[in-house]
Amino acid sequence: MTKTERPRTQWLGRWGFVLAATGSAVGLGNVWKFPYMTGEYGGGAFVLVYLACILSVGVPVMMTEIALGRRGRGSPIDAIRRMASEAGRSSAWSLLGWMAMLCGFMILCFYVVVAGWSFAYLWKMISGGLAGSSVDDMAAIFSANNANPWSLGAWSTVVAVATMVIVGKGVQSGIEKSVSWMMPGMVIMLIIMIGYGAFSGGFGDALHFLFAFNASSLSSEGMLAAMGHAFFTLSLASGAILTYGSYLPREASIGRTTLTVAVADTLVALMAGLAIFPVIFANGMEPGSGPGLIFMSLPLAFQAMPLGTLFGILFFVMLSMAALTSSISMVEATVSWLTDNKGLSRRVASWGTGIVLWVISTMAMLSFNVGAEWTLLGKHFFDWLDFLTSRLMMPLGGLGMALFAGFVLRSEMLREELGLSPMIHGLWLFMVRYVSPLGILLIFVDALGWLDIDFAAQWPWLALVLAVVTLIGELTRPGLKRAFCS
């Protein structure tokens, strides 16, 4: 029996949820991952697919998750089980919640390592360890940073402990407060960096790289990566948004809240791109140089600009904070489930989870040094955690949530919860029933090589497929007319 019937904590202020959800969404995904993936997958085409995925899959799935969380009043597992039973459907749907919770935790296990990089670079900025370094030195410093398991382990331990301390303190005092000053600070820092980049000589190239669409530069693998990243950056299908949604007061508008979070998240990612690529191009660096991209490029800019050390310190403080407000959201599902179902106090649940996190994240950290040879199918443990979550579990989880909301629940359940105008509700239903699932499936099929789809050239055919599937779906679904027309 669950103990979730007691009143659930709620966010303190009107902006509590928006702040916390934005804090979860904006993180290393925007500033570290988005630029390096854009670099690896060829620029503008990747950015376009990513934006299309945010709009067509990310936003509708995010609305769904918040609505499921608020109506189900619990961790993903409990919320989905409750909603399924309210609709008279099998409790096996709660497996979706299990997968989301596991996914959030798996992400955290590699995320703390990257957040540790950010802390390490903050320390390097403070101690002057980067002063006078050339482009080549920066690559060597990044490698040396990873080669030492003791310092790398110490920094990821700091992140793991900080995460658990904040989560242990609870939703209101821990999570909400830390976000309210970090987010504006991050944006100001990025604006300063863009301002610097605009005069660095690489700005034109950066704009071209980010926004010029060249369909041939995007592989099937890149399409899947862009879709996975849309989930990752909005913290979807990993329990975070759904659990935060369970603390959302009834009066808040889910549609407006979702748009605010998605727009803020996308802007920060694009701003990060505009801050980083001018430095890359001005210094003749390789945009596709992988996960070290921001750590090798930004310190160069800090060196060259006036007050660079100060800005560098501020930047890495902000990045580390942005990482923390995301990492706390990744364990919130697990901690909430443990406290609701196992009778543990928040503190005990947090520390218990923290110990498991520490062990697994240490294994991920070792991928960069002692365990560099321990690979499976060419990937080490760190890469597997990233690959399994972003390319597999999140898109599949998102597909599951969309179908659950679109076809499994009774339509009035989420209609009440979402409270949208009939037209917007119809649009949301169309997205979760057809556009998102079909989009996810097609990108999977393409990435697996079962069909070679050229999305740019074959879009009229794809639109036709969507129309036919929608028609068949609507005609065969009993009660569907009611759903759209009432």
Is residue 272 involved in binding ligand PFF (CB under 6 A)?
no
43 touching ligand PFF, by CB under 6 A: no
Q: Which of 75, 258, 326, 336 binds ligand PFF (CB under 6 A)?
A: 326
Asked if 246 is part of the footprint of ligand PFF (rule: CB under 6 A), the reply reads: no
Does residue 329 touch ligand PFF according to CB under 6 A?
yes
Residues 298, 56 contacting (CB under 8 angstroms): no
Q: Tell me whether residue 27 or residue 42 sits nearer to ligand PFF (CB atom).
A: 27
To 5 degrees, how large is the angle CA 137–CA 143–CA 145?
A: 100
**Inter-residue contact 96 to 81 (CB < 8 Å):** no
Q: Is residue 273 near ligand PFF by the rule CB under 6 A?
A: no
- Work out whether 330 is an interface residue with ligand PFF (CB under 6 A): yes
27 binds ligand PFF (CB under 6 A): yes
DSSP notation for 42-97: TSHHHHHHHHHHIIIIIHHHHHHHHHHHHHHTSSHHHHHHHHHHHTT--GGGHHHH
Residue 116 touching ligand PFF (CB under 6 A): no
22, 30, 145, 411: residue in contact with ligand PFF (rule CB under 6 A): 30
Q: Which of 225, 240, 296, 324 touches ligand PFF by CB under 6 A?
A: 240
In the complex with ligand PFF, which residue's Cβ is closer, 83 or 272?
Answer: 272
How far apart are the C-alpha atoms of 381 and 471, rounded to whole Å?
44
**Nearest-angstrom CA–CA distance, 196 and 65:** 39
Q: Which runs of consecutive H residues, i.e. helices, occur in 240-374?
A: 240-245, 254-282, 293-304, 308-341, 346-366
Q: Tell me the torsion sign for CA atoms 433, 60, 112, 225.
A: positive
Does 235 sit near ligand PFF (CB under 6 A)?
Answer: yes
Query: d(Cα 109, Cα 107) in Å, to the nearest integer?
Result: 5
Closer of 328 and 483 to ligand PFF (Cβ): 328
**Residue with smaller CB distance to ligand PFF, 56 or 233:** 233
Contact code string over 76-105 relative to ligand PFF, x by CB under 6 A = ----------------------------x-
Can you tell me which of 56, 233, 320, 367 binds ligand PFF, judged by CB under 6 A? 233
Query: Residues binding ligand PFF: what is the number (CB under 6 A)?
Result: 16
Binding residue (CB under 6 A) for ligand PFF from 238, 320, 353, 362: 238
Cβ at position 172, least distance to ligand PFF in Å: 19
Query: Should residue 270 be labelled a site residue for ligand PFF when binding is judged by CB under 6 A?
Result: no
Q: Does 28 bind ligand PFF (CB under 6 A)?
A: yes
Provide DSSP, 346-390: HHHHHHHHHHHHHHHHHHHHHTTTTTTT-EETTEEHHHHHHIIII
- Would you count residue 66 as binding ligand PFF (CB under 6 A)? no
Six token digits for residue 219: 């592989």
Phi-psi sector, 73: left (phi>0), alpha (psi -120 to 50), beta: left
Counting contacts by CB under 6 A, is residue 25 touching ligand PFF? yes
Amino acid, single-letter form, for residue 45: A
Interaction between residue 56 and ligand PFF (CB under 6 A): no
Contacting positions for ligand PFF (CB under 6 A): 24-25, 27-30, 104, 107, 232-233, 235, 238, 240, 326, 329-330
